Each structure stands twice: as structure tokens, then as C-alpha cells.
Amino acid sequence: MKNYWKRGEPMVMVAGATLAMVLFMTLTMMAVILGNSLGYFWIKDLVQLKLKDGSAVLGQITGSESHALTDEARIQLKVGNRDLYAQDFRWVDEQEIAGREYPDHAYLLERMEHGNFFGYLQGLTKADGTAAAADSVTLAALLHEVQQGKQGLKSIRKQMSKLNMASERLRLKIQKLDYNGAEANSAKIAALTDQRAKLTEQFDQLNNELNQKISELNKATALFRDADGKEKELPLTEIVRFYQPNSMSVFAKSGIYLIKIKELLLDDPRESNTEGGLFPAIFGTVLMVLLMSLFSMPFGVIAAIYLREYAKEGKLVQLVRIAVNNLAGVPSIVYGVFGLGFFVYGIGGSIDKLFFSHQLPTPVFGTGGILWASLTLALLTVPVVIVATEESLASIPKGIREGSLALGATKFQTLTKVLLPMATPGIMTGLVLSMARAVGEVAPLMMVGVVKLAPTLPFDGTFPFFHMDRKFMHLGFHIYDVGFQSPNVEAAKPMVYVTTLLLLVIVIIATSLAIRFRNQMRRKYTTSHF
């Protein structure tokens, strides 16, 4: 085979190798994300290390490494108990370890604050001050009781927030009256102020009641000690969940795994977003994307129809088409800058001046919010919709148009009855692609309304239900914020990986859908050549 080289077979192999490298990188990325996120909810066993200096450490093994020069190995433990040790992780040299065991009665507590606690149960105190047996059954019973009590508090909190909202509305009304002329409206203002005072009184009453109940609940405590014997008394209200991982079956652990996934999808975040759920971020992302499609879809489709069906083909249209095509390639940050300058400060500022001048300088619309964010992203994705719609219209054979027109249909009838139904998969492709892009876009959102923690959802039960001026949370920004701006990045990493996986799954599903639509479309109209 002396012409193996001459015929360039090795070069084919080299080209194949580059593809192999690209695939390898992709697979590595997937493996890293899956490996780091799927394991997060699996409860690892607690190991207790006896060290040679006589102390003991209780924790979960999270990693190991060996030193290149000395071949000394060390393992990384997650020791939790942030309030006691100030650090979540600890490296332990292998040669320091005198013995390791997996005590059955070791507890893992998920807490409202300070991360997990690893330790042993010493004693339990009931709400009435009497001691109870220190075992997991009693703890479970007491915890259940306390959590039920906490559920009861919810209704009080709800009432309080309603009162608060009503009082705030009154405050704004008073402010407005004051702004329009304190003299003329003094009677009204006095009446409203009275009303507000009453509300405040009610609020204080409820608040007292709430505090009383909370302090009552807090009376039920559990006494834990860590591996070294340091004691820590925890009110049961602080505990979210507890397990004894070393005595749990695989089946039980799987159950917890599912519960945690449910928590991830449906609960609010805890511990400055590093634990708990992602619900507000998921909700914010979905709502923003839907709102965005509401803007970008009709405009994009109309523009495409104009370009393809109505505009006279010529230099100008060709130029416009190039311009629109290229707008899809303009950096997203530029759209963000535009959104900030035009929507937020320009339009938002004007709205504030016109309708909310009594509230200035506190901005209502003159600051980032979900409306501005979705408008900015709509602008960013309009070119995607235009290009996809145009392409699908262009791929419909001319004969179909001519046939329809020859039968006496007007252009508009041809469009709505023939062309649009045929182009639907293409339009859907554009829509889904634009949604996929919007879900993953972060840079422009940082300027026009995304925040790390939004106290309220943009959509809720209070009038007018949909609060377009509110700021919101977003999965992509969550990744950036928790991964790069949280004080304890190492402890937050697993959460970021989980968020990444979730975002990736959403994007991949959306894109696959779009690709499927498009392929359907192609198969329908392209005639095979050669």
C-alpha cells in the first residue's frame, strides 16, 4: 500500500481525530456536569475518623488527592457544622488517621441556616420543658409536631402580608394626595392616615401573636454533640430534615433522593441560594421567556412575511435581509446596554414621570423589571424568528402560491389559508430556538432586572396579579451569582452544578424539538437531488 500516504488517507484520519477531540470535549463536559450534579442528592455515609492526636472528625468524604513529590495522600471531608467550625470542608492526611468507622447512630441534619449538621443526638426537650427520650423515633415525632406548628404560622404570616400590602397601598395614596396638594386634601389624608394606623395596629397585634407562637415552638429543642464532644442545642424549628445515613437502606436513600428533587423544583432557596429549591428561578425564567415570545413571535413573523411575500425584491430588501441576519450575531450585551438605556431609563423613566411622579425618586418602571427584561430579549430573538420564518416561507414551492392565486384567492387568503399552515413547523422552529436562546442568555438580563433573590414572584394573588415592574430570578443568572459571587463557593458548587444540569436539560429539550420540527419541514418540501 505505498500510495496510502499519497492518497491522503492519513489526512482523513487527522480530520477524523479533530472530530474525535471535539466529541471528547463535549462528552467530558456532559460527564462533569452529570457526575457533579446527580450525586448531590444522594446521601453519602458519614465516616468518623479517629486522628492520631486523639481528636475525632465526622463527615462525608468528598475527594482525595496525593502529593506528586512525597506520594502522601489526603482526603477531603465535608464536616458541615459551619456554626461550630467556620468551614465546611477539611483536608485530612491519611497518615494522621488512626481509625475509621461508620457509626449507625450518627445524624445528618438539614438546617434552615448554617448548612448541614453532623453529630450525635444527646437529648430532647419538649415544648413544655420536659425531657423526652433521645432517639430518632421521638425526634421524628417532635419534629413533625413542630413542623405542623410552623404550618399554622403560615396563615398568620399571610394575613400579615395582606395587611402590610394594604397599608403600603394607603401610604402610596397618601403620598399621592400629599403631592397633589397637602392643604386641599388634608381631610382625606387624615382619614387615610387613621385607617393606616388601624392597619398598623392590627399588624402589630398579629406580629406579637406570631412572635409568641414562634418562641413557644422554639422551646422544643434537641441537644446534639459533634464527633469531638462539642455540644450544640438546636431548636427543632431550625431543622428541616434529619437522617441517619449509615443505617439507611439504598431504598430509603432513593426515597430521599426523590424528595429532594421535588424540593429543588418546588421550594424556595435557603442559605443565600446555596441550598433549598429553585422554584422562583424556574418560575422567573419560564415567565420571562413566555412574555418574550408574546412580543417577539408576532413581530418576527410579520416582519418575515413582509420581507418574503410583500416587499418588492430589490437591493433594499436584500440589504435589509442582510442587516436582519446579522443582528442575530450582534453581541447580547449590546442588547442589554440598549435595554438599559432605552427601556429602563428611557421609557421606564418617562412612565415614572408621567404616572408615578409622586413616588419619585423611588423608581417604579424606571428600574429593571420583568417587562423590560422580556422586551430586551424579544429584541434579541426577533432576528431568529424572522430568519426561521423567512426560510420556511421560502422553502414552500412557488407552484403552491401560484395555484392558490390562480384559483382566485387573494394574497391575504393565500397567506393565511395556505402558506402559514404550511410554514408552521418552520415558525415553531424559530420560536423554540429563540426560547432556547433566551433561556440561556444572562449578560443582558443582568442590566435589565434580574436579581439574586426576589422577595416576591412577578405573578401572585394580589391585584393586578401580574406585576410587570417587579424584578425576578433566573436560572442562568443563578449559576453566575451562586458560583461566582457567593461567599462560600466551595459549599455552593453542588447547587450550581444542579442548576446547570437543569438549565442544560431545558435548553437541550427545546433545541432538539426545534431541530425535529425543522427536519420535518425539510423532508416535506425538498426534492432529492442527484
110/441 with CB nearer another protein: 441
Query: Closest separation between CB of residue 255 and another protein, Å?
Result: 30
Phi, psi for 184 (deg, rounded to 5): -65, -35
The contact mask relative to another protein for 353-392 (x = CB under 8 A, - = no) is: --------------------------x--xx--x------
Considering only the stretches 90-98, 130-138, 210-218, 300-308, report the one whose residues sit in contact with another protein under the rule CB under 8 A. 300-308
Tell me the β-bridge partners of 78. Answer: 60, 89
302 touches another protein (CB under 8 A): yes
Q: Kindly state the helix (H) or strand (E) to which residue 77 belongs, with its residue range.
A: strand 73-78
The contact mask relative to another protein for 328-347 (x = CB under 8 A, - = no) is: -xxxxxxxxxx-xxx--x--
Q: In the set 69, 133, 187, 354, which binds another protein (CB under 8 A)?
A: 69
Q: In the set 31, 32, 294, 505, which binds another protein (CB under 8 A)?
A: 32
19 touches another protein (CB under 8 A): yes
34 touches another protein (CB under 8 A): no
Considering only the stretches 156-164, 202-210, 261-269, 503-511, report the one whose residues sit in contact with another protein under the rule CB under 8 A. 503-511
175/511 with CB nearer another protein: 511
By the 10 Å C-beta count (0-12 exposed, 13-18 middle, 19+ buried), 162 is classed as middle
Which residues within the stretch 127-166 sit at the binding site for another protein (CB under 8 A)?
none
Query: Closest separation between CB of residue 419 and another protein, Å?
Result: 12
22/266 with CB nearer another protein: 22
49/473 with CB nearer another protein: 473
Query: Closest separation between CB of residue 129 and another protein, Å?
Result: 48
Query: Closest separation between CB of residue 468 and another protein, Å?
Result: 20
Which residues within the stretch 482-501 sit at the binding site for another protein (CB under 8 A)?
483-484, 489, 493, 496, 500
By three-state DSSP, how is residue 105 classified? Answer: coil
530 touches another protein (CB under 8 A): yes
The contact mask relative to another protein for 399-438 (x = CB under 8 A, - = no) is: ---------x-xxxx-x-----------------x--xx-
d(CA 227, CA 213): 33
505 touches another protein (CB under 8 A): no
Helices 370-394 & 279-305, crossing angle to 10 degrees? Answer: 40
Distance of CA 284 to the CA centre of its chain: 7
For residue 517, the one-letter residue type is F
Q: Report the relative pairing of strands 97-101 and 275-276 from DSSP bridges.
A: unpaired
Q: In the set 85, 89, 279, 299, which binds another protein (CB under 8 A)?
A: 299
Phi, psi for 65 (deg, rounded to 5): -155, 155
306 touches another protein (CB under 8 A): yes
6/154 with CB nearer another protein: 6
Cell 427543632 locates to 236
293 touches another protein (CB under 8 A): no
Cell numbers at 140, concatenated: 421524628
d(CA 394, CA 402): 14
211/519 with CB nearer another protein: 519
Helices 279-305 & 420-440, crossing angle to 10 degrees? Answer: 140
73 touches another protein (CB under 8 A): no
d(CA 330, CA 151): 50
Question: How many of the chain's residues bind another protein (CB under 8 A)?
Answer: 98
Residue 139 and residue 242 in contact, taking contact as beta carbons nearer than 8 Å = yes
Q: In the set 75, 222, 292, 324, which binds another protein (CB under 8 A)?
A: 324
d(CA 187, CA 178): 11
By the 10 Å C-beta count (0-12 exposed, 13-18 middle, 19+ buried), 152 is classed as exposed
393 touches another protein (CB under 8 A): no
101 touches another protein (CB under 8 A): no
454 touches another protein (CB under 8 A): no
Which residues within the stretch 222-251 sit at the binding site for another protein (CB under 8 A)?
none
329/399 with CB nearer another protein: 329
Query: Closest separation between CB of residue 386 and another protein, Å?
Result: 8
d(CA 473, CA 269): 11
117/517 with CB nearer another protein: 517
**What letter would DSSP give residue 91?**
E
Query: Closest separation between CB of residue 254 and another protein, Å?
Result: 27
Kindly report each contact of residues 36-41 with a partner whose C-beta sits within 8 Å and lies 24 or more positions away, as own/partner. Answer: 36/493, 36/494, 36/497, 37/494, 37/497, 37/498, 37/500, 37/501, 38/501, 40/494, 40/495, 40/497, 40/498, 41/256, 41/257, 41/260, 41/261, 41/264, 41/498
332/392 with CB nearer another protein: 332
Q: In the set 61, 166, 327, 468, which binds another protein (CB under 8 A)?
A: 327
Residue 121 and residue 107 in contact, taking contact as beta carbons nearer than 8 Å = yes
